[in-house]
Amino acid sequence: MPRPIEESNRERKKYIDPMCVIVMVVYKGSKTMIYHTVLEAVGHTPMIRLQRMTHEEDAQVFVKLEGVNIGGSIKTRTALMMIEQAQKQGKIHKDTILVEPTSGNQGVGLALVGAVKGYKTIIIMPDSVSEERRKIVKQYGAEVILVHDAGNIGDCIQACVAKAKQMAKEDTRVFVPQQFENENNIKAHKEYTAQEIVEQVNGPIDGFCSGIGTGGTITGVGQVLKAKNPKIEIWAVEPEKAAILSGRPVGGTHLQMGIGDGLIPPILDQDIYSQICIISDEEAIYTAKQLACQEGLLCGISSGSNVAAALKLAKKLGKGKTVVTILPDTAERYYSTPLFDSD
């Protein structure tokens, strides 16, 4: 990913082209970092140690706060990687139409990338996703096509995928990144997310937990962490109503948007995890609320899923060990969901 231009505050006026669009300025010591597009600022999210939600006899739990990433979620990383790799490979051109089936955050990420790069973008989503997700996608200038979720998220996602493939068949300008099958999804996490985690923790990592959506995060991060510590314990996290990796049938529409899409993603490395942790909607929401009121971390429902699993793993591993998980997105796209219902 491109790096920002650095220059001293004093010389700033001298070297900035007045025709250049400056998106973000971050003060870093005596220097100013200037990003010429918002995409240059993707990644480098903070790692935070939980203080009040763990017990003294537990392993320490570190959470990577992706809600402060550009676009508000971890999915901007994969959207950017998939599109930039497609550009390099000549798969997309100036008149390309980006079309992607998604249950939410990947759609936001692709809409953002499409906006910056000038591509028309169409996102196909289940109508069970939060209203905020739809509005954010539209705010980035993308079109939203809703597919009815009749109570089986797996069937609905498959219908979204089929719709995207049909559009590509009918219009040669359409490019479908196919996050569930695209190896660049994994690449984004192996080359960036995982490397940031290793650098930030700067020590042994004994456990890692991640929800399964496309499988890109757990595969990419998991492979890097396991290469460094073959004894690491990695847990896959599934919603109770869509625990298909555990051999259960899809039991309706769940609230842990972004994970548990009711299918086994082709890019998922099923050998990377040693255990599957099933989390109910109620536990995910409760944990997400606790993250806000005890740790000051305002994050989405799937963050609650990941942390609920991480706390169980921390209890199992015990004092002196380190568990890492990811908070995939921000809570602001869940105002219309039970996450913000009063107790």
Residue 251, pLDDT score: 76
Tens of pLDDT, residue by residue over 143-198, are 999 999 988 888 898 899 999 999 999 999 999 999 999 999 999 999 999 999 99
Q: Are residues 132 and 102 in the same domain?
A: yes
In this prediction, residues 30-57 reach a mean pLDDT of 91
Last residue of a domain, one of 175, 197, 222: 175
Say how far apart CA 41 and CA 54 lie, in whole Å. 32
Q: Are residues 191 and 292 in the same domain?
A: yes
Report how far apart the first and last C-alpha atoms of the chain are (Å, whole number).
Answer: 43
Q: State yes or no: pLDDT of 315 exceeds 90.
A: yes
Q: Are residues 96 and 243 in the same domain?
A: no
Q: What does the block give as tokens for 198?
A: 């290793």
Residue 181 lies in a domain: no
Which contiguous run of DSSP H or E holds residue 215? none
Residue 104, pLDDT score: 77
Q: State yes or no: pLDDT of 132 exceeds 60.
A: yes
Torsion of CA 57, 231, 325, 24, to 10 degrees: 130
Residue 274 lies in a domain: yes
Q: State yes or no: pLDDT of 59 exceeds 70.
A: yes
Nearest CA to 225 out of 249, 253, 250, 203 is that of 203
Residue 52 lies in a domain: yes
Q: What is the pTM of this model?
A: 0.88
Residue 17, pLDDT score: 39
Q: Are residues 66 and 101 in the same domain?
A: no
Residue 93, pLDDT score: 93
CATH at 81: 3.40.50.1100
Torsion of CA 6, 48, 69, 160, to 10 degrees: 150
Q: Are residues 195 and 311 in the same domain?
A: yes
Q: Are residues 51 and 100 in the same domain?
A: no
In this prediction, residues 67-82 reach a mean pLDDT of 97
The total domain count for the chain is 3
Q: Are residues 223 and 168 in the same domain?
A: no
Q: Which residues pair with 323 in a beta bridge?
A: 61, 207
Q: Are residues 247 and 296 in the same domain?
A: yes
Residue 1, pLDDT score: 56
Q: Are residues 318 and 199 in the same domain?
A: yes
Residue 110, pLDDT score: 97
- Order across the sheet with 5-8: list the strands: 5-8, 31-35, 24-28
Give the position of tokens 């996703």.
Answer: 129
Q: Are residues 194 and 128 in the same domain?
A: no
Residue 220 lies in a domain: yes
Residue 151, pLDDT score: 83
Residue 187, pLDDT score: 98
Q: Are residues 206 and 160 in the same domain?
A: no
Last residue of a domain, one of 175, 210, 243: 175
Catalytic residue among 75, 190, 226, 321: 75
Q: Of the ranges 17-21, 83-87, 199-203, 320-324, which one carries the lowest mean pLDDT score?
A: 17-21
Residue 31, pLDDT score: 57
Computed over every residue of the chain, the mean pLDDT equals 90
Q: State yes or no: pLDDT of 33 exceeds 90.
A: no
Give the position of tokens 């219908």.
Answer: 159
Tens of pLDDT, residue by residue over 235-292, are 999 999 888 899 888 877 888 988 888 889 999 999 999 999 999 999 999 999 999 9
Residue 180 lies in a domain: no
Tens of pLDDT, residue by residue over 319-334, are 999 999 999 999 999 9
Q: State yes or no: pLDDT of 12 exceeds 50.
A: no
Residue 153 lies in a domain: yes
| 302 given a catalytic annotation | yes
Q: State yes or no: pLDDT of 16 exceeds 70.
A: no
For residue 304, the enclosing domain spans: 47-70+186-340
Q: Are residues 193 and 308 in the same domain?
A: yes
| 13 given a catalytic annotation | no
Residue 14 lies in a domain: yes
Last residue of a domain, one of 175, 197, 215: 175
Catalytic residue among 103, 128, 302, 305: 302
Residue 296 lies in a domain: yes
Tens of pLDDT, residue by residue over 190-221, are 999 999 999 999 999 999 999 999 999 999 99
